[in-house]
Structure 1
Amino acid sequence: MFIPNTKPLTIFTPEPSTGLGAAFLDIGVSAGFPSPAEDFTEERLSLDHELVKNKETTFFARVSGQSMIGAGLNDNDLLVIDRSIEPSNNKIAVCFLDGEFTVKRLRVDQDGMWLQPENPNYPIIKITEENNFIIWGIVTNVIKKVY
């Protein structure tokens, strides 16, 4: 099956962290009115500990394309993917479909399985026995650049 406008995902494995992590100010950052920062504590925070629950089954992949923009996954975002999480309805999954990797929302019911894009310009993909299909892992987090 040909999926228009798709590009392969680039898969990375997490590198073990050797540092102490970045500085973490455990004060809560206000998204409304500024709050006084008189009594804050500086700690060290490792994103490995926050984002990677199982090192042996966690991978990173960079999003390529616009099919999942409605779910907040934009071109060039970095996905955190855990292969140990059980796939289920409504999870966002990285799948291997007919020779290519793709990221879509799983839709599962008694009538079958579909890969649901989060952009109306892309088709819903019905998975059939003719497809070469594997659910490769479940997306747990997305890392974005904001500049």
Structure 2
Amino acid sequence: MRDGIFLPHSSPLTLALPHPLALTRAGLSGFPSPAQDYEGRTLDLNERFVKRPSATFFMTVTGDSMTGLGIDDTDLLVVDRSIDARAGHILVASVEGELIVKRYEMLGRRPYLCSGNAQYPPIPLSNLDCQVWGVVRAVIHEYAV
């Protein structure tokens, strides 16, 4: 499976977008003020998802091997090279020259890269050329509208 296309990312631009405060209530107790949605809050997606700009890149996923873990074909990944990989992290790695996205797991006492789709068996890392490119910090899924 080919899991991605590396998209280089230069220093992020600041773009503050409207971000109204959304509150959830346990029950109905009247109507909220219509002005509540326009309180002037903003959200910069780079500030939210890019914790270390010099170590962050974006990657578009191709394939279906991670669908069970919420990563679908054409999703955008935010990948941080500064995070040390641990079991349970989703990684971008080069394995035998192929760039893939998998979850790093210890099965028994051996390291594996595992898919989120049962059609793809775990990849044992013993005796393979594997270089971790980074840890996936966020997944951005765009709905077809």
TM range (shorter): 0.7 to 0.9
Give the whole-Å Cα distance in 2 for the aligned partners of 1:29 and 1:59. Answer: 33
2:13 is equivalent to residue 22 of structure 1: no
State the secondary structure of the residue aligned to 2:46. Answer: helix
Offset from partner CA, 1:57-80 (integer Å, 9 cap, x none): 001101110000010000000000
Q: Match for 2:137 among 123, 136, 140?
A: 140
Offset from partner CA, 1:107-129 (integer Å, 9 cap, x none): 12662210111101111111112
- Is the 8 Å Cα contact of residues 18 and 40 (structure 2) preserved in structure 1? yes
- Is the 8 Å Cα contact of residues 86 and 104 (structure 2) preserved in structure 1? yes
**Matched residue, 1:122:** 120
Shift of 1:84: 0.4
Give the whole-Å Cα distance in 1 for the aligned partners of 2:117 and 2:3. Answer: 18
Could you state the TM-score of these two structures normalised by the residue count of structure 1? 0.84
- Is the 8 Å Cα contact of residues 92 and 101 (structure 2) preserved in structure 1? yes
**Matched residue, 2:109:** 111
Shift of 1:7: 2.2
State the secondary structure of the residue aligned to 1:42. Answer: coil
1:58-137 counterparts in 2 under 5 A? 58-108=56-106, 111-129=109-127, 131-137=128-134
Could you state the TM-score of these two structures normalised by the residue count of structure 2? 0.85
For residues 18 and 90 of structure 1, do their structure 2 counterparts lie closer, same or farther at Cα, with a shift above 3 Å needed? closer
Offset from partner CA, 1:72-121 (integer Å, 9 cap, x none): 00000000000100100111001100011100010126622101111011
Shift of 1:11: 1.4
Offset from partner CA, 1:5-30 (integer Å, 9 cap, x none): x2252112334444542111123478
Where structure 2 has 5 or more consecutive residues not aligned to the other structure, the ranges are none
State the secondary structure of the residue aligned to 1:50. Answer: helix
Where structure 1 has 5 or more consecutive residues not aligned to the other structure, the ranges are 1-5
**Matched residue, 2:41:** 43
What is the aligned length?
Answer: 140
Give the whole-Å Cα distance in 2 for the aligned partners of 1:14 and 1:79. Answer: 12
Percent identity (aligned): 29
Give the whole-Å Cα distance in 2 for the aligned partners of 1:29 and 1:46. Answer: 22
**Matched residue, 1:12:** 7
